[in-house]
Amino acid sequence: ATLAGGCCPGASRNRFAYNEAGQVRIRAGLPIYECNSRCRCGAECPNRVVQRGIRYDLCIFRTGDGRGWGVRTLQRIRKNSFVMEYVGEIITSEEAERRGQVYDRQGATYLFDLDYVEDVYTVDAAHYGNISHFVNHSCDPNLQVYNVFIENLDQRLPRIALFATRPIRAGEELTFDYNMHVDPVDAESTRMDSNFGLVGGSLGGSPRARGRIECKCGAASCR
């Protein structure tokens, strides 16, 4: 398939998300549809990015300012490049509510609502996950959340991909906004709920964020 042909995104009437270098070129809030096992293209198709997994050398480290563990990149990351997927158990929102009360008492949470169309499922990275479990919040983050569909096209179950919002230097800490809000692309569309928020222990704005906590991100624009 060619970029011009649109490959799978063309079939689903969505814009092709990437340029030839694999950098995302659509705005956050629009879904990314990657090629899957039903496509005729091969592994090197430019529309297979998130499914290839992490391509950068990343490192978990202990922060020195009370934010616990964090993640930094050991390599320079180009703007709009895929960095990592937020991975965990997929649970129902009812189960997330129950677990959230426990996590609130422990003072930490890893619940990420999948509310691209409706709030039915949540990803819990507390017990099962990848390096994204350790990524800290920032009010001025260098990673942006995108909803990605590959093998599973159920809009209630997007995969959560983190892309670089700007060039990131080697040695720099990686962060995303736990309470990120993305403007609906089409104001008349009901498909975009626009509340991509890590639940609980965050900065308010989520129905399950019961307690406000001090933010230590250090950004000039800190909320």
pLDDT of residue 182: 62
CA separation for the pair 59, 163 (Å, rounded): 17
- Whether 85 contacts 160, CB under 8 Å: yes
Q: What is the pLDDT of residues 63-113, one digit of tens each?
A: 998 889 999 999 999 999 999 999 999 999 999 999 999 998 888 889 999
To the question of whether residue 59 is assigned a binding role by annotation, the answer is no
Is 178 annotated as a binding-site member? yes
Distance CA(164)–CA(78), nearest Å, equals 7
pLDDT of res. 92: 97
Rounded Cα gap, residues 116 and 84, in angstroms: 19
At 98, which helix (H) or strand (E)? helix 93-106
Whether 220 has a pLDDT exceeding 70, the answer reads yes
Q: Which CATH class is domain 8-85+131-178?
A: mainly beta
Q: Any residues with CB less than 8 A from the CB of 5 and at least 6 apart, and which?
A: none
CA proximity to 219, closest of 61, 71, 67, 72: 67
Instruction: Tell me the per-residue pLDDT of 107-160, one tens digit each, with 9 for 90 and over.
Output: 888 999 998 998 899 999 999 999 999 999 999 999 999 999 999 999 999 999
Give me the active site residues, please.
86, 178
Domain ranges (residues) in the chain: 8-85+131-178, 88-129
pLDDT at 186 over 80: no
pLDDT in tens, 43-54: 889 999 999 999
Please report the beta strands in 106-205, taking only residues with DSSP state E, as ranges in sequence order: 111-114, 121-124, 136-137, 143-149, 159-164, 175-176, 179-181, 195-199
Of 188, 166, 184, 186, the residue nearest 175 (C-alpha): 166
Q: What percent of the chain is modeled with pLDDT above 70?
A: 79
Bridge partners, 91 (sequence order): 122
Q: Quick check: 197 pLDDT over 50?
A: no
What per-residue confidence (pLDDT) applies to 109? 81
Contact assessment for residue 155 and residue 46, using Cβ atoms and an 8 Å cutoff: no
Taking all residues of the chain, what is their mean pLDDT, rounded to a whole number? 84
Q: Global pTM?
A: 0.84
Give residue 189's identity as a one-letter amino acid code.
S
* Residue 102 host element (H or E): helix 93-106
